[in-house]
Amino acid sequence: MTSRTVQTSPIEGQKPGTSGLRKKTAVFREPSYLENFVQCIFDGTGGAAGKTYVVGGDGRFFNAEAIGVIIRMAAANGAARLIVGQGGILSTPAASNLIRKYKTDGGIILSASHNPGGENGDFGIKFNAPNGGPAPEKITDAIFARTREITEYRITEEEAADIGRIGTSVLGACRIDVIDPVTDYEALMQELFDFDAIGSLFERGFRICFDAMHAVTGPYATRILEETLGAAKGSVINAVPLPDFGGGHPDPNPVWASELVVIMEGARAPDFGAASDGDGDRNMIMGKGAFVSPSDSLALLTAYAHLAPAYSGKLTGVARSMPTSRAVDLVAERLGIPCFETPTGWKFFGNLLDAGKVTLCGEESAGTGSDHIREKDGLWAALLWLNILARDGRDIVQLRADHWRSFGRNYYSRHDYEEIPTQDAEKLMTTLRNRLPDLPGTTVAGMQITTADDFAYRDPVDDSLTEAQGVRIAFGDGSRVVMRLSGTGTQGATLRVYLERFVGRSGDHAQDLQTALAPVIAAAETVADITKHTGRSSADVIT
């Protein structure tokens, strides 16, 4: 093997966010852009010599080409072994499982998650740590520091292995194992769930629709739901991963998964609907004519997880991201287990999971997971729902209605203002933060503010402190507004406004969602001057 050292220089803007580095695909295709960052992953984690990595992605445009570069660079940097998904395909949950199962030194995952793909779309790369979870800040900080001082990268002259065929090859001293991307993940699901009960559900005529959104989950859902469990052929739609996701936006919510919504609201709607995103870690759940919010889904899964073999009597605790509704808090209180509130970003659940403090966790942005891996997992969530429905006997709409009667309903919605000029978005948040000390006791839009703060998180495992994670404003009637800037976009900034209103067990649980939240929406606009700062009279996306 002939390798060469290429002289380079730092490239601005290579700071990883909560989910790695995301940019427009064209940026990643610029000379040395990808190579610089990959070298910095190796350098920032102690070098690649003698190490084993999992490598794969969601199949979006540039995925296979980027994997070829990573293989050639890993070999040149002395890596001992690479485990690569056939065709470059590995869902993020599957990659996390492989890292843990084979005790590798980490993984390099290529995805921009729910962002659009294609030549003019987005691309992303992230490093997952040996526990299978997103790299913690001490690692991403080290990688970023290296991006600011890099002077060279190493790469082989030889072409990378053929990742289209399952098998083993070598590149220099590096062994490259191309594996079936589904096999190990399916084996894990069989350990967690009662496949016989789910299979019997399908034998009784239970119908489902799983929308893979032309993203990575297609092969996983087809194999497990249709071939193994016996769901009717065609139950998985948009099952073939495409480089541009079929021109769609692989974000599993009622706006972008509109095809599933039409099916589930139709006259012949299936009994259960689900969708997953670009890299397979998010989920959307529906019953006949009914969307189950991610916050409600987490609460319901926590309440009924005991019906699945892996979780019966084994819930040590639950965690939710701070913006997620407090519906799961009520369930945890009744079950007598702790409920942790963390910043947004799956990596914050990692310490809690590793320490055995929680079993289930979730965030409002359609992510739900458990201690089986260290990532959220879209297909896992659908399978847990199916296991619960198979064992409980009620349909999903009745189960949710009964839950609200038992715990009350947290009306909840997220309003996104996308691609705001970064300076304007930051000015909005700075102005709001400066007002926080004066807000408690005041009334806005007819609602009295009781508390207002900027969320800070003290990790109960390592005592680390993470500050400035989003503004929280609570009102006297139990309503709540949360505002933060998202780090998952590639242009400008996205302002996320989270709105929550609690109605007790005997209250009206059948109101239109946005109507029920109208007073909270008005209060959010007034307290933050959203229109003034953004120039928008309404949100771009409401979920």
Which residues are annotated as catalytic?
113
Burial class (CB in 10 A: 0-12, 13-18, 19+), 197: middle
Give the count of beta carbons closer than 10 Å to the beta carbon of residue 55: 26
Contacts of 503 (CB under 8 A, 6+ apart): 408, 409, 411, 509, 511, 516
Integer-rounded Cα radius of gyration of the chain: 23
- Collapsing DSSP states into helix, strand and coil, what is residue 509? coil
CA nearest neighbour of 503 among 381, 402, 410: 410
Could you give the CA distance from residue 112 to residue 120 in angstroms, rounded to a whole number?
A: 13
Task: Give the pair of three-digit tokens for residue 328.
Answer: 């799961």
Could you give the CA distance from residue 277 to residue 33 in angstroms, rounded to a whole number?
A: 26
Could you give the CA distance from residue 260 to residue 284 in angstroms, rounded to a whole number?
A: 10
Could you give the CA distance from residue 281 to residue 276 in angstroms, rounded to a whole number?
A: 7
Could you give the CA distance from residue 358 to residue 371 in angstroms, rounded to a whole number?
A: 8
Could you give the CA distance from residue 93 to residue 403 in angstroms, rounded to a whole number?
A: 29
Burial class (CB in 10 A: 0-12, 13-18, 19+), 318: buried
- Collapsing DSSP states into helix, strand and coil, what is residue 359? coil
DSSP letters for 423-449: HHHHHHHHHHHHHGGG-TT-EETTEEE
CA distances from 175 to 71, 82, 167, 254, 270 (A): 10, 6, 11, 44, 46
For residue 307, give the DSSP letter: G
Sign of CA dihedral 191, 197, 200, 206: negative
The residue count of the chain comes to 543
Task: Give the pair of three-digit tokens for residue 7.
Answer: 């002289």
